[in-house]
Amino acid sequence: MSGSTMRALIYEGPQTMMMREVPVPEPESDEVIIRVKCAGICGSELSGYLGHNSLRKPPLIMGHEFSGDIAGTGSGASRFKPGDRVTVNPLVTCGVCRYCTTGSAQLCAKRSLLGAHRPGAFAAYTSVPERNVYLLEDHVSFDEGAFAEPFAVAVHICRLLKLDPADRLLIVGAGPIGLFTLQAAQVYGLKNIVVSDINTERLEIVKALGGIAAVGSGDQLEGSFDAAVDAVGMEATRTQCMELVRPGGSAVFSGLHQADSKLPVNAAIRNEIRMIGAFSNTPVDFETALQWISEGRVNLLPWTVHAPLEEGGACFEKLISNPGKVAKIMLKM
């Protein structure tokens, strides 16, 4: 493929996405080239599209939730052969620092994210370090393979919370991460899970998945939850989590919508509320997510829609303005 070109969706500035002809990437010795089959749009990419995310600087090929098949390999890559169906952990780390060798690779100082620090998957092909690539079992679809990364984020959130089956859990935000966290918590055995959102159509998905839907803050009582997850990232939603967990409870902050928030820290001190930041996922979380997907423990396929890559800009606009009863939009090559 040396010297050939491909079509790619390029982020060129706030609310500007254009299809362009760009060179097909050449793999480094330890990399593989993946022919992208489908790539999901992530909430962090929506903030990047609006110009609110400092990680994503134009011009950029976004896209980090994806699957495809092996199109080529570097001279030092030997685990995969052309045609193998794969998914990718898009967080590239050094592999040798203390964080990487002790199970916390997501905190590696040299980390880089496909679709942010390096070209991503909103293109016909993308190059990826071989160590970040995972084989898909035959019965796992490309869509399900693309779910692995966002579901791994949810697995990471639940692992940080050290959930007990008897816990009462609040999830603020019924977007993909909130919905995946609902499903991951259900794998942990939780039955009493409230998901709040202002999008009533997405709350219908919550009900279909067996969660308890609440519009906004609903009529939930202060201190009525053992744990809370903010999957939005606004001052109001972070504060909501803080106010609704019980003394000694935990609040996980995952959403990245606002960089700064005023929070009731004195109340957290007096009530010994644990505030935990959750970023991305560990390799173990990713492997767990892929295993649970393979075992049929997670399913957002009924609320997943597809669109050609060429309509990517319009899909971003839809997700920002009115996603409706849609959990995930997959762009198809």
The domain that holds 272 is classified in CATH as: 3.40.50.720
Average pLDDT score, the chain = 95
Same domain, 219 and 254: yes
Express each pLDDT in 101-137 by its tens digit. 999 999 999 999 999 999 999 999 999 999 999 999 9
How do 133-135 and 85-88 pair as beta strands?
antiparallel
Residue 158: inside a domain: yes
Name residues of the chain where pLDDT drops below 70: 1-2, 218
Listed in sequence order, the residues at least 6 apart from 146 whose beta carbon sits closer than 8 Å to its beta carbon are: 38, 39, 40, 65, 66, 67, 87, 330
Predicted local distance difference test score (pLDDT) of residue 2: 63
Residue 291: inside a domain: no
Number of domains into which the chain is organized? 2
Q: Is the pTM of this model over 0.85?
A: yes
Q: Phi and psi at residue 132, in whole multiples of 5°?
A: -95, 0
Please give the share of the chain, as a percent, with pLDDT higher than 70.
99
Say how far apart CA 254 and CA 233 lie, in whole Å: 7
Same domain, 198 and 233: yes
Q: Which CATH number goes with the domain that contains 72? A: 3.90.180.10
Express each pLDDT in 226-256 by its tens digit. 999 999 999 999 999 999 999 999 999 999 8
- Residue 316 domain boundaries: 5-136+300-332
